[in-house]
Every structure is written in C-alpha cells, then in structure tokens.
C-alpha cells in the first residue's frame, strides 16, 4: 500500500473519493498540501463562478491520509 491523501465528498450514505483523473482512476495526492490546494481551488472556483446558482461548502469535504499499514487518518484543518 502506498501512502496517500484523498479528498472525499460527503453523501447521505457516507464519505467517498469521487474525484477522478482523465483515465477515470480516483485522484490521490502525495502530500497534504497538494490535497488542500486542490480542494480549495475546486470549491473556490465553483463558488466564484458567476453562473453558479448554488454554493459548495467546505463542510461537505474532508481529507484523509492512508499510511503504509493501510490505516486511515482524518486530517482536520
């Protein structure tokens, strides 16, 4: 298992990484800083778009870290 960070989205049934690359593979990040930057860019871009009729909330996202032993850690910030 490779260490990685994921940005997850909250759904009614729980949390899931629904971010994917061009090949439909789930997007993961090597560092917490990369994951935080991607989340901020996505939420802010959506919310600042003049055509947006509803806003995203940071409360609907979280960043988790999976270590080499496959343990999952929630990143709070």
Res 45 pLDDT > 70: yes
Q: What is the pLDDT of residue 2?
A: 72
* Long-range contacts, 58-61 (Cβ 8 Å, 24+): 59/10, 60/9, 60/10, 61/7, 61/8, 61/9, 61/10
Res 76 pLDDT > 80: no
Mean pLDDT, residues 55-62 taken together? 91
CA distance 28 to 11: 19
Res 63 pLDDT > 90: yes
Helices (H), the chain: 32-48
Report yes or no: 61 and 9 within 8 Å, Cβ to Cβ: yes
Give me the half-sphere count of Cα atoms (radius 13 Å) on the Cβ side of residue 71: 4
């Amino acid at each position: 298992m490779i260490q990685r960070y994921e940005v997850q989205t909250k759904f009614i049934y729980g949390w899931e990484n629904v971010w994917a690359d061009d090949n439909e593979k789930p997007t993961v990040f090597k560092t917490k800083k990369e994951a935080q930057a991607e989340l901020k860019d996505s939420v802010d871009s959506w919310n600042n778009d003049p055509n947006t009729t509803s806003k995203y909330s940071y409360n609907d996202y979280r960043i988790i870290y999976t270590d080499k032993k496959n343990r999952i850690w929630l990143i709070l910030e």
